[in-house]
Structure 1
Amino acid sequence: MKVHVIYAYPLKTGLAVDIHNTVVSSLIEAGHEVDDLDLYAENFDPILNEEDRTIYHDVTINQRRIKPYVDRLQAADAVVLCHPVWNFGWPAMLKGYFDRVFLPDVSFKMVDGKLMPGLANIRKLTSVTTYGVDRLRALYLFDPPRSNATRFLRVVCNKKVKVDYLALYGINNMTEARAAKFLAKVRKEMLAF
Structure 2
Amino acid sequence: MRVHTILAHPLPDSFAAAVHRTAADRLRACGHEVATADLYAEGFAPALTPAERAGYFDAEYDSSAVAPLVERLRWAEALVLVYPHWWFDQPAILKGYFDRVWVPGVAFRHDRAGGRILPLLTGLRSVSVLTSFGSPWWLTELYMRNPARRILTKGVLTACAPQARLRYCALYDMDRATDTARARHLERVAALMARL
SS of 2:71's partner is: helix
TM-score scaled by length of structure 1: 0.94
CA distance in 1, matches of 2:92, 2:162: 28
Assess if the C-alpha contact under 8 Å between 1:122 and 1:157 holds in 2: no
SS of 1:40's partner is: coil
CA distance in 2, matches of 1:35, 1:128: 16
CA distance in 2, matches of 1:180, 1:157: 34
Equivalent of 2:153 in 150, 153, 163: 150
1:106 corresponds in structure 2 to 106
Q: RMSD in angstroms over aligned alpha carbons?
A: 1.5
Could you tell me the percent identity over the aligned residues? 36
1:134 aligns with 2:136: yes
Structure 1: give runs of 5+ residues left out of the alignment: none
The letter for the 1-side match of 2:169 is: L
1:178 corresponds in structure 2 to 181
1:68 aligns with 2:68: yes
Structure 2: give runs of 5+ residues left out of the alignment: none
CA distance in 1, matches of 2:47, 2:194: 35
Equivalent of 1:166 in 156, 161, 169: 169
1:96 corresponds in structure 2 to 96
Aligned in 2, Cα 1:132/1:56: closer, same or farther, shift over 3 Å? same
TM-score scaled by length of structure 2: 0.92
Assess if the C-alpha contact under 8 Å between 1:150 and 1:165 holds in 2: no
2:41 corresponds in structure 1 to 41
Q: Deviation digits for residues 113-141 of structure 1, max 9, x if unmatched?
A: 35221211101111000000011111201
Assess if the C-alpha contact under 8 Å between 2:84 and 2:133 holds in 1: yes
Query: CA shift at 1:144, angstroms?
Result: 1.0
Assess if the C-alpha contact under 8 Å between 2:7 and 2:17 holds in 1: no
CA distance in 1, matches of 2:158, 2:26: 27
Query: CA shift at 1:45, angstroms?
Result: 1.0
CA distance in 2, matches of 1:159, 1:50: 29
1:119 corresponds in structure 2 to 121
